[in-house]
Amino acid sequence: MTETTPIAPSSRGPADHNVRSQIVEAATEHFSLYGYEKTTVSDLAKAIGFSKAYIYKFFDSKQAIGEVICANCLSAITNEVDEAIAGVSTASERLRRLFKTLVEASARLFFQDRKLYAIASAAAHERWQPVRAYEDHIRQVVMQIVLEGRKSGEFERKTPLDETANGIYLVMRPYIDPLLLQHNLDLAAEAHVQLSSLILRSLAP
């Protein structure tokens, strides 16, 4: 499985790592209060009490900070998913839990705070690196569950694995991608149950 790295790799030492974390934490707070779009690096520097030049020592741009916040948010979702499916005995139930957790965690993290949604939305629209890594990770989780279900005899084995996994990912996508989920929020709680059942019917041996 691919792994999303919550903090972008840095060749600097642990002290620098702490400063980076401090900037990200303060930026998350600041963006959620005043919005990502409207905040400049100068605003951020002023709010944190650092100089703008000092922030630029650690991040090339506002987007670079946004990418770390985005990666942290997506990695909170994948952690929640991993927890939700760990120890669940059947592949069918793992698939249901995967979909349910993705919908619930995405709705909570992207929309509970409309101001952070601006980051999620820019990230999805411009396909930032953490978004691509996240999508790959979810595809891998789907593929893994399908493989396990094929092995245990729960799922059919005729369809090429790639095709099966990609089809399932496409069904889930409108409830994961924040740009699509914003138009699906009212529907999501009911839809993921019905769509999980449809997916499981498509996997029947």
Nearer to a copy of itself, 140 or 159 (CB): 159
In total, the chain counts a number of residues equal to 205
Q: Does 166 bind a copy of itself (CB under 8 A)?
A: yes
Nearer to a copy of itself, 81 or 168 (CB): 168
Q: Does 67 bind a copy of itself (CB under 8 A)?
A: no
Q: Would you state the structure tokens that stand for residue 10, as one six-digit string?
A: 């840095």
User: Which 139-158 positions form the footprint of a copy of itself (CB under 8 A)?
Assistant: 156
Q: Does residue 10 sit in helix, strand or coil?
A: coil
The minimum distance between CB 69 and a copy of itself, in angstroms, equals 22
The minimum distance between CB 156 and a copy of itself, in angstroms, equals 8
Binding mask 107-146 for a copy of itself (x = CB under 8 A): ----------------------------------------
Q: Would you state the structure tokens that stand for residue 12, as one six-digit string?
A: 């600097």
What distance in Å separates the CA atoms of residue 198 and residue 171, rounded to the nearest whole number? 10
Cα within 13 Å of Cα(58), Cβ side: 25
Binding mask 176-205 for a copy of itself (x = CB under 8 A): -x-xx--xx--x---x--xx-xxx-xxxx-
Find where tokens 């909570």 sit. Answer: 108
What distance in Å separates the CA atoms of residue 168 and residue 152, rounded to the nearest whole number? 19
Enter the DSSP assignment of 86. Answer: T
Number of other CB atoms surrounding residue 117 within 10 Å: 19
The minimum distance between CB 97 and a copy of itself, in angstroms, equals 19
Q: Does 86 bind a copy of itself (CB under 8 A)?
A: no
CB of 117 closer than 8 Å to CB of 57: no
The minimum distance between CB 182 and a copy of itself, in angstroms, equals 9
Find where tokens 């409309």 sit. Answer: 114
Nearer to a copy of itself, 29 or 205 (CB): 205
Nearer to a copy of itself, 68 or 145 (CB): 145
CB of 145 closer than 8 Å to CB of 162: no
Q: Would you state the structure tokens that stand for residue 53, as one six-digit string?
A: 């030049």
Residues binding a copy of itself (CB under 8 A): 156, 159, 163-164, 166-168, 170-171, 173-174, 177, 179-180, 183-184, 187, 191, 194-195, 197-199, 201-204
